């Protein structure tokens, strides 16, 4: 039987790490991409510590999704090794510091646009052929902050990412790959902590539980 292969971008922490861990425990081989080497190694340690006989493996890919050459080489390597992808979960995001719209720093704008929109636009044509070969699914995560005060750069760039994913979803509805846009429950992640410092985190859903819910819904529809 051909093994299920998943690419998780933004896999070193938060929901991305939880998704990678969940997929590996379900027997998938996960290509885990993130800039933070330590976070990827901790993910690998957690999966190995579970000691599940049916667990899949991890390929750690410490790289920046905004590096076109690195991501292109990675996708080529996936094709050469496995020939397909069954899932691409795109959890990579840049959380721009909150600021009034009239006070947004150029460097923050540039990084938000590069990570949240441009990288997504560059990755779609790289990943689409792999997903078609695997009759696979692309999974995006909405966080509707557009129009909220102080969320200008993050809200606009995240909305742009989801607009791009929605267009791809409409374009591929009949021919594939399948494109799914999920809206996760609020989670106690580092990204949310930057937006809501001092929040009561005990009321939030743990990333592991949310990853399980999202994957259960996603995979049950296959």
Tens digit of pLDDT for each residue in 122-172?
999 999 999 999 999 999 999 999 999 999 999 999 999 999 999 999 999
What pLDDT, on the 0 to 100 scale, is given for residue 50?
Answer: 82
pTM of the model: 0.95
Share of the chain above pLDDT 90, in %: 90
CATH topology of domain 5-220: Rossmann fold (3.40.50)
Answer whether residue 1 shows pLDDT above 60.
no
Using one digit for the tens of pLDDT, what is the confidence trace for 27-53?
A: 999 999 999 999 999 999 999 888 766
SS (H, E, C) 64-129: CCCCHHHHHHHHHHHHHHCCCCCEEEECCCCCCCCECHHHCCHHHHHHHHHHHHHHHHHHHHHHHH
- Which helix (H) or strand (E) segment holds residue 53: the answer is none
pLDDT tens string 51-79: 766 567 899 999 999 999 999 999 999 99
Q: What is the pLDDT of residue 51?
A: 72
Quick check: 212 and 22 in contact, CB under 8 A?
A: yes
Q: What is the average pLDDT score of the chain? A: 94
Q: What is the dihedral of CA 72, 129, 115, 152, to 10 degrees?
A: 160
Alpha carbon distance 9, 92 (integer Å): 5
Q: Is the CB of residue 62 less than 8 Å from the CB of residue 35? A: yes
Contacts of 218 (CB under 8 A, 6+ apart): 87, 137, 139, 180, 182
């Amino acid at each position: 039987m051909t093994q299920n292969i998943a690419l998780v971008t933004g896999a070193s922490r938060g929901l991305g790490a939880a998704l990678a861990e969940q997929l590996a425990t379900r027997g998938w081989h996960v290509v885990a991409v993130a800039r933070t080497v330590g976070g990827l190694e901790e993910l690998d340690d957690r999966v190995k510590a579970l000691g599940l006989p049916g667990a899949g493996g991890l390929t750690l890919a410490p790289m920046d999704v905004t590096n076109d050459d690195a991501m292109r080489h990675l996708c080529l390597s996936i094709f050469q090794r496995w020939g397909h992808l069954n899932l691409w979960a795109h959890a990579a995001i840049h959380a721009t510091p909150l600021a009034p719209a009239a006070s947004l720093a150029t460097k923050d704008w540039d990084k938000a646009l590069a990570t949240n929109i441009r990288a997504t636009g560059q990755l779609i044509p790289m990943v689409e052929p792999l997903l078609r070969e695997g009759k696979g699914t692309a999974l995006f995560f909405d966080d509707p902050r557009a129009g909220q005060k102080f969320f200008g750069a993050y809200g606009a760039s995240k909305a742009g990412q989801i607009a791009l994913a929605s267009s791809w979803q409409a374009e591929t509805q009949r021919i594939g790959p399948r494109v799914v846009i999920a809206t996760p429950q609020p989670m106690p992640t580092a990204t949310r902590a930057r937006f809501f410092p001092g929040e009561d985190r005990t009321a939030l859903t743990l990333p592991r539980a949310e990853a399980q819910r999202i994957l259960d819904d996603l995979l049950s529809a296959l």
